[in-house]
Structure 1
Amino acid sequence: MVEQGGDVDGTPDAPTAGSGPDRGDSGDHSVRTVAVAVTGGVFLGGVATGVAFPTLPLLDQVLGISAVMLGVILAANRIARLIMNTPAGQVIDERGARTPMIAGLFVQGLAPFGYVVGLYTPAVDLTTLPVVGTVSAPGLVFVLSRAFWGVGSAFVFVGAFAIITGVTTESTRGKWTGYMRGGQSLGFPAGLVVGGVLTDVYDVQTAFLVAGTLALLAGVVAVVVLPDVRASAGARVPLRELPALARSTPGVVPIGVANGTIRLLFGGVLLTTAVKYAAELELTAGSLTAAGVSGLMMGGGVVVASVATVVSGRLSDRVDRRALVTLPAFALLAVGFAALAFVPSFLGVAAGVALVGAGTGGSGPALLATLGDIAPAGETGKFGGLYNVFGDIGLSIGPLIAFPAVAAVGYGATYLACAGLAVGCLLLVNATLLGTGTDGDPTLDADAPGPAATTPDPDPNTDDD
């Protein structure tokens, strides 16, 4: 197993490589400071994403663009991130995580200001494309701005993973990974609320400006706090050889497949079908119609997922085999979708969404922390990027298959198929991460220095690379 814990420069009493869980309070405080800063950065980035998101679907009315063009705008960031995930990991492995992550945060911060530019761009038609239709100048500005955001988010997500992996040992990695993922989970719904209120009380431009300001604030915090953590050992692997390296490292592909399936089920299927399912069941609560009820339930599911993320991360540090935590999580995921299929009522849907949220949150930290445990020396960034590639693929194909599946076989059968996929993940993890011994044992190796011990940049506040 590969121990990634290492030196943290730029923070007092930094822990040393292989110091393990018994480092003094000052060392733990140093790791806590860095981990909280990373969590705060991804949380503010999530808030900024959420603030802008409620206003983006209104662009067809504001700019007079086609529905297809609106879809291209909404998907541009995900497409850009999918392309940039592994190159971002390559850069982070070669130059350290601090500078790329800070750059990513500022790139994210500038993107919403690009949205404001798009609002004031003259409505000039540039060209006409098949399927998409007319491409206007404002539409192109929004597509480029969304792609800009996607590039930044790739560096933020992979950088956050690399830093958390670099400053923790196997005895604490699950806990801090859980907090980091919990911050990601909570940021987006918090931003949705703020963005909706700002758009209603003020206007679209105000929401965009607040989104950009929050993301820039995350970058400023990162400049002050983040250290530069990089792997000092291990031969560098060219990006073109990453697929072969992933296949040769036991557990990496199953972890990626499991992550992609989780994202497909929660973000790809449930989020896109919840409103229509609630409408078909004619669910109401007081003055709330199907849209309000589904939004309330999904918000509750995200909160449950965030709590489960923190709990499961800490729990994964205490069990002999970290991947054991994923087994009940996948079981909850399967039971949640089964409840949606078999109990088509207000309570059934509410309970099903909550269980799916618990399963989603409960599985993520253990998978990501396990990836950090087994990542070869110097390849943490590329493996983190590969992990996100699987997740973005799941998020992208989920909506593409969800609506055709519902139209063909109905909601019940579709949700049962989702439950089957969750069971498949449970069996996959049991057969690979647990069955072959690739999962780390944090209680045995937490104090053992490994070949991937990390070393800091001599001065994390000056980036000579």
Structure 2
Amino acid sequence: MNRPRTVVLAVIASTFFVGFGGGVVFPILPNLGAVLGITPFVVGLILSANRFTRIVANAPAGALIDRFGTRTPFVAGLFVEGVATLGYVVAIRSAAPEAWFLASRVLWGLGSAFVFATAYTIAADVSDGGSRGTNMGVVRGGITLGFPAGLVLGGVVSDSYGVVAAFVVAAGFAMLASVIAYRTIPETHVSEVQSSVKPWHVDRSLPAVTVGLVNFGLFFAYLGALFATLVLFLEARSLTVLGYGPQGTSGLLMAVTVLSASVFMLGGGKLSDLRGSRVPILIAFLVVSFGGFVALALADSIPVLIGACVLIGAGQGGTSGPLMALLADLTPEDRMGRATATNNVLGDVGGGLGPMVSLPLIETVGFEPVYAACAVIPLLAGVLLLGGVYAKTGAVNPRTDQISRDARG
């Protein structure tokens, strides 16, 4: 029998390796678009297609997981992502590269919907109240770190050995991820009595909606205010690092943000386990996120901007583990797949809407008002979180062991 720690490590390894395919196109496709005859608009559509697909696919994925279990959807999702990455190789040599790239990104989004929903559900299934925060944090870290690793892979390998080599290497790692999962991941989620679950049913319970809306706000500000506008902010303020231009400097600063988020993903979940409660840790990191966006609004030098990126990354990462653990604490086991999907849907909607709202607003009112408005979002998320937890449990800071027992019978 697989031990919980072994299962969690296998999930981390699988999601990390498959994540290469998510990031590998970003340093390659924008520069390759003109050569292949792909317009900038279509390049943007290709890069975003996986997220738009996931918005549609998250809910069916979660429902099917609750009906059929986690093992098969997890392995199948990883394999689909591997096939999608191989599609990039075909696209390079195709007479219609934009169609192949777009189809591959749509396929990637479909596979990732199953991978994300199953990864969190598996972590919840093999955890208890004393380890759930830690396990959710490290699984989230594995999912998150695969993307920047793909960015590095795409840039370094394509420069040294060519674009096709970068895509082939990424596809190889993705296929390796599905092999690891097939060999090591047991079934964790099917009970003896399975209720009928329709794929279009989403979890509309108070915990799922509350956690999902918090996730919506965080991704709206994180992707919309920081990642989507940072290069424009650097160019407007003439801020550089190590002689790099706005693009190179923004890449370095985003790497700092992701690294900070990854460190605090592990720490936030572990702290919530040690305290035996999630809410104080969540509120603390939401305040850290608020401070980061305030610093971003006031940034007039690289040191201040680095500090803002560290704080925003810490706030984003530090909430991830405790937030998913809180959702698992408050959700019956047979609904965890759908609850995770609800959270993913709202997070993807927030991440998709953020750039669409922030970029036009910055042209109209400037950077500072937009960043200041985004600083308020974590505070509003904290109020929403407290209200939802109180309405569900009757306390603003319930103990983990108590709410977990109540939710899981």
TM surpasses 0.5: yes
Tell me if structure 1 keeps the 8 A contact 2:57–2:113: yes
Q: Which runs of 5+ in 2 are unaligned?
A: none
SS at match of 2:334: coil
The counterpart of 1:44, out of the listed 17, 20, 35, is 17
The counterpart of 1:238, out of the listed 188, 195, 198, is 198
Match of 1:212 in 2: 171
Query: What is the CA-CA distance between 1:241 and the residue it aligns to?
Result: 4.5
What is the alpha-carbon distance in structure 1 between the residues aligned to residue 251 and residue 114 of structure 2? Answer: 30
Match of 1:429 in 2: 385
What is the alpha-carbon distance in structure 2 between the residues aligned to residue 450 and residue 265 of structure 1? Answer: 33
Match of 1:299 in 2: 255
Query: What is the CA-CA distance between 1:177 and the residue it aligns to?
Result: 0.5
Match of 1:195 in 2: 154
Match of 1:351 in 2: 307
Query: What is the CA-CA distance between 1:290 and the residue it aligns to?
Result: 2.5
What is the alpha-carbon distance in structure 1 between the residues aligned to residue 398 and residue 79 of structure 2? Answer: 35
Query: What is the CA-CA distance between 1:170 and the residue it aligns to?
Result: 1.5
Give the stretch that moved more between structures: 137-146 or 151-160. Answer: 137-146
Q: Are 1:365 and 2:338 an aligned pair?
A: no
Q: Are 1:390 and 2:351 an aligned pair?
A: no
* TM-score normalised by L of structure 2: 0.94
Match of 1:114 in 2: 87
The counterpart of 2:132, out of the listed 148, 160, 173, is 173
Query: What is the CA-CA distance between 1:48 and the residue it aligns to?
Result: 2.8
SS at match of 1:284: coil
Per-residue CA deviation, residues 274-332 of structure 1 (Å, 9 max, x unaligned), is 11111111112332222222211110111110010000011111224312211011101
Bigger RCO of structures 1 and 2 (CA < 8 A, at least 6 apart): 1
The counterpart of 1:69, out of the listed 17, 21, 42, is 42
RMSD over aligned Cα atoms: 1.9
Going from structure 1 to structure 2, the CA distance change for 1:102 and 1:184 (only over 3 Å counts) comes to same
Tell me if structure 1 keeps the 8 A contact 2:330–2:403: no
Tell me if structure 1 keeps the 8 A contact 2:209–2:342: no
* TM-score normalised by L of structure 1: 0.83
Larger proportion of helix: 2
Per-residue CA deviation, residues 106-140 of structure 1 (Å, 9 max, x unaligned), is 11011121111111112xxxxxxxxxxxxxx3211
Going from structure 1 to structure 2, the CA distance change for 1:432 and 1:448 (only over 3 Å counts) comes to closer
Q: Are 1:96 and 2:69 an aligned pair?
A: yes
Tell me if structure 2 keeps the 8 A contact 1:49–1:211: no
Tell me if structure 1 keeps the 8 A contact 2:130–2:276: no
Going from structure 1 to structure 2, the CA distance change for 1:404 and 1:326 (only over 3 Å counts) comes to same
Q: Are 1:402 and 2:358 an aligned pair?
A: yes
What is the alpha-carbon distance in structure 2 between the residues aligned to residue 141 and residue 216 of structure 1? Answer: 19
Match of 1:254 in 2: 210
What is the alpha-carbon distance in structure 1 between the residues aligned to residue 56 and residue 405 of structure 2? Answer: 37
What is the alpha-carbon distance in structure 2 between the residues aligned to residue 377 and residue 285 of structure 1? Answer: 48
Query: What is the CA-CA distance between 1:430 and the residue it aligns to?
Result: 2.0
Per-residue CA deviation, residues 124-168 of structure 1 (Å, 9 max, x unaligned), is xxxxxxxxxxxxx32111111111111010110001011111111
Give, as a single letter, the amino acid of the residue that structure 1 aligns with 2:282.
T
The counterpart of 1:140, out of the listed 92, 99, 102, is 99
Query: What is the CA-CA distance between 1:431 and the residue it aligns to?
Result: 2.1
What is the alpha-carbon distance in structure 2 between the residues aligned to residue 342 and residue 396 of structure 1? Answer: 26
Tell me if structure 1 keeps the 8 A contact 2:16–2:146: yes
Per-residue CA deviation, residues 76-128 of structure 1 (Å, 9 max, x unaligned), is 11111111111111111111101101000011011121111111112xxxxxx
Give, as a single letter, the amino acid of the residue that structure 2 aligns with 1:216.
M
Q: What is the 5 A alignment of 1:281-296?
A: 281-296=237-252
Q: Are 1:153 and 2:112 an aligned pair?
A: yes
SS at match of 1:230: coil
Going from structure 1 to structure 2, the CA distance change for 1:373 and 1:221 (only over 3 Å counts) comes to same
Going from structure 1 to structure 2, the CA distance change for 1:72 and 1:448 (only over 3 Å counts) comes to closer
Going from structure 1 to structure 2, the CA distance change for 1:449 and 1:340 (only over 3 Å counts) comes to closer
Query: What is the CA-CA distance between 1:435 and the residue it aligns to?
Result: 6.2
Identity value in percent: 37
Match of 1:441 in 2: 399
Per-residue CA deviation, residues 227-253 of structure 1 (Å, 9 max, x unaligned), is 1111425744434443xx51xx33221
Query: What is the CA-CA distance between 1:405 and the residue it aligns to?
Result: 1.1
